[in-house]
Amino acid sequence: MAEHESTPAGEYDVAVVGGGATGCATAYYAAKRGARVVLLDRQDLNTEASGRNAGSLHGQIQHEPFLHLGEEWARSWLPALDLLRGSLELWDGLSAELGVDLEVKKKGGLLVADHPDQLADIERKVALERSIGIESRMLTRDEVHALAPWASDAIVGGELCPIEGKANPLVTGPSFARAAVRHGAAVRGGVGVQAITPDGGGYVLTTTDGDVRARKVVVATGDAMREFGRRLGVNLPVTSEAVQVSVTERVEPLVEHLVYYAGGKLTFKQSSTGTLLIGGGWPARRDENGAWVMNPDSLRENLRIAVRVAPVVGGVKLLRTWVGVGNGTPDQRPVLGELPHHPGLFVGIYPYMGFTASPLMGRTLAELALGETPALDLAPFDPMRFADAA
């Protein structure tokens, strides 16, 4: 990959700022359609959230926000779920398309309950998912135990969401970027974008390595999106939440599904190498220098829940816990579209589950940048919807 060559001079059709999964996917889909593309990241590619996430491919309404924000919120969030569903369809053919095994396995997601009261909430959630054609279904106690022999005897039932799964986040972004290079894109790590200024019909990007000109610009800067919004004069209230994920030693094949728990924060699955990945959005903490580090209280609670759901985890050695900064939006819907006062400049961030969403986010951003009309209705994701709250 031409990551450290200097940027070829001249004007690009599309400049993509941010080399996480979203930006790499955007560069790929735009270059594949014949556009002259440059992808810029201030660091190496895939070193922020896209290289630190847990690799879950989500396709259900997350149970915790459903409980806390309620059914009305969940209904308003369905367009964002539909985006995940569309992205999950793209994941199916992605390894073949990019020529790399992305370790995509979609055996479904299991949300398990250990109290009968939890089942009524799950049932309401399943009905909403089914309302947009996702074939989630309730599982009896026996059905859960047949699918998940590792589950605690206390599990009384749950949900199966058949479209969910997992993939390898370490290879996904870079594989999109390499495929973009094969289609002629220039990909540059270590180049920070400091300003984006209108110039004629396009933009000049002031970077740490000189100016880059492009007719269209896609900003996919993840955690830096709020700051980019400020610079561009639009309120993009993207929140930052440092969370942690743990990995165990390798064990024999045990868990096929992506597992969640209705009584607390948990995601739990087995990678293709046999390690167990345990997370669920547990917060990290800051050290005395202000750096994000592992929070032992979160780790204890996360593991306590994992063992409660799957007692076998209690006998497995933990190898490592790492921290990454994830991003949210106030309504948990993505920000995806053109900034009206900056024609030809598009922004894209999918909160909390942006790894799952990255293929379709990237394809949609590429379509927008190339002047095509995406199949998705983007109105619920309008970047200007927070303007009045500024």
Find out whether 335 and 364 touch, Cβ atoms under 8 Å.
no
Q: Are 78 and 133 in contact (CB under 8 A)?
A: no
Query: Interface residues for ligand FAD in 293-352 (CB under 6 A)?
Result: 324-326, 349-350, 352
Tokens of 336: 């995806």
Q: What gap in Å lies between CA 297 and CA 314, rounded to an integer?
A: 17
CA angle 80, 374, 2 (to 5 degrees): 95
Considering beta carbons, is residue 49 or 113 the nearer one to ligand FAD?
49
Is residue 53 at the binding interface for ligand FAD, with CB under 6 A as the rule?
yes
Find how far residue 111's CA is from the centre of its chain.
19
User: C-alpha dihedral over 3, 193, 324, 267, to 10 degrees?
Assistant: -80
Q: Which of residues 264-283 bind ligand FAD (CB under 6 A)?
A: 279
To ligand FAD, the closest distance from the beta carbon of 154 in angstroms equals 25
From candidates 31, 212, 245, 369, binder to ligand FAD by CB under 6 A = 245
Identify the residue among 3, 13, 14, 20 touching ligand FAD (CB under 6 A).
20
- Angstrom distance (rounded) from CA 319 to CA 247: 6
Q: Note whether 364 binds ligand FAD by CB under 6 A.
A: no
In the complex, least distance from residue 142 CB atom to ligand FAD, rounded to whole angstroms: 29
Query: Among residue numbers 21 through 50, which ones bind ligand FAD (CB under 6 A)?
Result: 21-23, 40-43, 47-50
For ligand FAD, how many residues bind (rule: CB under 6 A)? 41
Q: Decide: 186 and 39 in contact? Cβ < 8 Å.
A: yes
Which of 27, 128, 155, 193 is the binder for ligand FAD (CB under 6 A)? 193
Q: How far is the CB of 146 from ligand FAD (least distance, A)?
A: 26
Part of the chain binding ligand FAD (CB under 6 A), chosen from 20-28, 98-106, 139-147, 288-296: 20-28
Quote the CA–CA distance of 288 and 286 in Å, as a whole number. Answer: 7
Strand 193-199 with 186-188, pairing: unpaired
Between CA 57 and CA 165 the distance in angstroms is 5
Cβ of residue 19: shortest distance to ligand FAD, in angstroms? 5
Q: Is 356 in the site for ligand FAD (CB under 6 A)?
A: yes
For the bound state, the minimum distance from the C-beta of residue 51 to ligand FAD, rounded and expressed in Å, comes to 7
Question: Could you tell me which of 382, 7, 11 has the C-alpha nearest to residue 193?
Answer: 7
Query: Which residues are near ligand FAD by CB under 6 A?
Result: 17-23, 40-43, 47-50, 52-56, 58, 192-193, 220-224, 243, 245, 279, 324-326, 349-350, 352-356
